[in-house]
Amino acid sequence: MDETSLIRDYLRPLATHPGALSLKDDAALLSPAQGKDWVLTQDSLSAGVHFFPDDPLDSVAKKLLRVNLSDLAAKGATPVGYLLSCFWPHATHKKDILKFIQGLKADIHIFGGALLGGDTVYHDGPLAFTLTAIGEVPGGTMLTRSGARAGDAIYVSGTIGDAYLGLSLRRHPETYRFLKKAARDRLLQCYHLPQPQLLLGAALRGVASASMDISDGLALDLSRLIEASGAGAMLYLEKVPFSAEALTCLEHKSVSAHDLISGGDDYRLLFTAPNDKNEELLAISCNTNVSLARIGEITTGGGLHILDKNGKEVRLKKQGFVHGGK
């Protein structure tokens, strides 16, 4: 499929924002609404690194969009539009390209925003995609990593480690034969289709003191948050919320709690808040239907300290996934 046909027949219907100029120009034209700030983020997915080469491309498209939306959620932003670059191997079939676009279309319909432009390349390299997401927040309200202060409580949304288990299950299905099919399916879903928590992020504006999403592992991302805030943290391992499926895996010793807090792809929100925000956070949890767990507190001393149920400090072999690491 040539680029002109791809844009005209399949991508243009996704360009519903007037600033996209129906994808007929070299650039989009945007102006922030009065009293709004823009928030921009970008993520890339590459076959063999971020997804399996045989993964369905509609699922890959959804994950590409959702990992970017998770970044917007952590900033308290709502989506406006997207710039998409696709790197297709020469041998890519038209049906696979259309499957990717179908997945992208379905999720844009769910989460909002519009395609604003991008680029398409056919090459001899691997299948890869890059998406830039543009969101907006009321002026001066964007959540950052750097606002945590000593005494603040540390929270996470949802459960931790399910995506890590989904990836492990994808790689080594024989290890998880003790799980029922429904449990295996849910864990795989957590890995392939993260749930960006946009409503929660928006509700945390003015309540959370610092926020980020968990993409490379709870322990590593919490370390990044406290580094940005110039603070330390105490994380209580027994307070970290694990799903029923994760608890079953822990019982069968197919995984450790250390693995679950250092595994990537959770795309949950990690945030801090002053202690006087407890009632507001309870209301936010109820209104957004997202569970929140208090897992530690911000300290004056630098560094992250992880304590087990006996108060003994835990040492991790690795805190999380480091891009470019061995």
For 127-166, write each residue's pLDDT tens digit. 999 999 999 999 999 999 999 999 999 999 999 999 999 9
Q: Where are the beta strands (DSSP E) in 181-286?
A: 210-213, 232-236, 269-273
* CB distance 200 to 157 below 8 Å: yes
pLDDT of 24: 93
pLDDT of 46: 96
What's the CA gap between 102 and 96, in Å, rounded?
10
pTM here is 0.95
* CB distance 150 to 94 below 8 Å: no
Q: 322 lies in a domain? A: no
Are 98 and 176 part of one and the same domain? no
What's the CA gap between 298 and 116, in Å, rounded?
40
- The label of the residue with tokens 């432009």 reads 117
Q: What is the pLDDT of residues 279-325, one digit of tens each?
A: 999 999 999 999 999 999 999 988 999 999 999 999 887 776 555 44
| Number of domains present in the structure of the chain | 2
Looking at 115, 138, 161, the residue that finishes a domain is: 138
Are 297 and 159 part of one and the same domain? yes
Q: 131 lies in a domain? A: yes
Are 193 and 112 part of one and the same domain? no
Task: Identify the segments of the chain with pLDDT beneath 50.
Answer: 324-326
- The SS3 of residue 8 is helix
Q: 144 lies in a domain? A: no
pLDDT of 257: 95
Are 166 and 259 part of one and the same domain? yes
Q: 145 lies in a domain? A: no
- The SS3 of residue 77 is coil
pLDDT of 322: 53
CATH of residue 79: 3.30.1330.10
pLDDT of 325: 46
Burial 95-111 (b: 16+ CB within 10 A, else e): ebbbbbbebbbebbeeb
* CB distance 103 to 60 below 8 Å: yes
CATH of residue 260: 3.90.650.10
Are 170 and 303 part of one and the same domain? yes
Domain containing 265 equals 153-314
